[in-house]
A and B are shown apart, each in its own frame.
Chain A
Amino acid sequence: MRRTRENPEVHAGSMADIAFLLLIFFLVTTTIQTDVGLDRKLPSDDVINHIDVNERNVLRISLNKNDELFVEDRVLKIDELKQLAVAFLDNGGATENQLRCDYCKGTRDPKSSDNPQTAIISLNSDRDASYGTYVMVQDRLALAYRELRNREAQRLFGQDFTAMEEKFYAAETNEAEKATLKANVERIRDMFPLNISEAELNVQSQKLA
């Protein structure tokens, strides 16, 4: 019997099957982790909130234990919250020169906020409200801020604020570009600072009651 000299060829036809098997295994076992969320900064605990603010500069939002939303003691649907927050922040009711908000396009109602810098949204949630609703409210407020910031960024720099922020955080943006972007981003942020306060005092009084 004569043996063939050449090595037998490895059959590659089943390679695809093996690879598919691996692929499906990875698809099934990995869970795609979410890497997005709402960034918030907690107030530092040693600063006691004793800032004197005018009542007209505060928008009181509260969430009760049945997940119902109240704005200034009035029931409101969550979908209407964004428009209301935009109207409140963008009001620009102040008439004095140094407080006047030139870029505000609101109704300039003297009973509503003076300018976006002094406007505070006070969010107060019952301990028994569900976290899902709480995040939804936070999200709607963030959307209101985003809309106003985008509007001003479009007016001043011709692009969306979100796009500017994204470009600022991107690793491939070079240093010089980053410096100008940083100034611009901060300017927009100063125009509409994120003043969402979760008053601790009210929470404590609820506990005692």
Chain B
Amino acid sequence: MSTWRNHQRSEPAISTASLPDIVFMLLFFFMTVTTINNTELLVDNELPEATAVNKLDKKDRIIEIYVGTPKKSLEKVLGTSPQIQLDDRIAYLNDVVPYVLGELSKKPEAVRNFVTVSLKVDKEVKVGVVSDIKKELQKAHLFKVNYTTYQGNDTNVGF
């Protein structure tokens, strides 16, 4: 009888055998949902927030243009005025048209008409730079643009 009682008292250890499975599941989840940013940003890119947003198209129908002030570590080389980043290099305004047309020609022909230019512009940048880029895009006959933003909060709009 005493042995029976002892057996009841000592609680069974929780099996940790399934812990790796759970963690692996989490790992795979994160690996699939995150998109790895494969261009190294040379400029600060704190996007503005917006609430009435549309979802961006698939990745293969997007051409990205980054604008922002150079990162702190690159300030000595690039200065402090806003710069345009195409792919992984800093470019001038008149490089925009050749770049977007080059990117466009790399896309499969079937999606070329649906290509959107995603403007990832830091919120501190002046509008003038952006409107210059838009004028360049008009020259390249790429009229679909997306002001890429962070998803803002719906609740602080109502007031």
Contacts and interface: CB of A to CB of B under 8 A. Distances in A.
Contacts of B52: 38, 139, 142-143, 145-146
Given A36-B151, A139-B50, A134 B134 contact: no
Interface stretch (B20-28, B73-81, B91-99, B101-109): B20-28
Interface residues of A, number: 51
A179 interface: no
A37 B127 contact: no
B7 interface: no
A16 B34 contact: no
Contact of A30 (B30, B129, B148): B30
Contacts of A37: 50, 53-54, 56, 118, 146-149
A33 B126 contact: no
Contacts, number: 156
B19 A16 contact: yes
Interface in A5-62: 12-13, 15-16, 18-20, 22-23, 26-27, 29-45
Interface string B52-89: 11111000000000000000000000000000000000
Contact of B127 (A18, A125, A142, A143): A125
A29 B48 CA distance: 23
Contacts of B116: 39
Given A15-B20, A26-B30, A34-B151, A131 B127 contact: yes
Contacts of B134: 42
Report the interface size class on chain B: 35 or more
Contacts of A111: none
| Binding site secondary structure of chain B | mixed
A135 B50 contact: yes
A127 to B, nearest CB: 3
A42 B145 contact: yes
A36 B149 contact: yes
Interface in A115-150: 125-132, 134-136, 138-139, 142-143, 145-146
A76 to B, nearest CB: 15
Contact of B54 (A15, A36, A63, A145): A36
B128 interface: yes
Given A35-B55, A131-B122, A63 B143 contact: no
Interface in B114-131: 116, 118, 121-131
26 contacts: A18-B20, A20-B23, A30-B34, A32-B34, A32-B35, A34-B148, A36-B50, A37-B54, A37-B118, A37-B148, A38-B54, A39-B54, A39-B144, A40-B147, A43-B143, A63-B127, A125-B127, A128-B128, A131-B123, A132-B124, A134-B127, A134-B130, A138-B147, A139-B51, A139-B149, A143-B51
Interface of B: 16-17, 19-20, 23-24, 26-27, 30-31, 33-37, 47-48, 50-56, 116, 118, 121-131, 134-135, 137-139, 141, 143-152, 157, 159
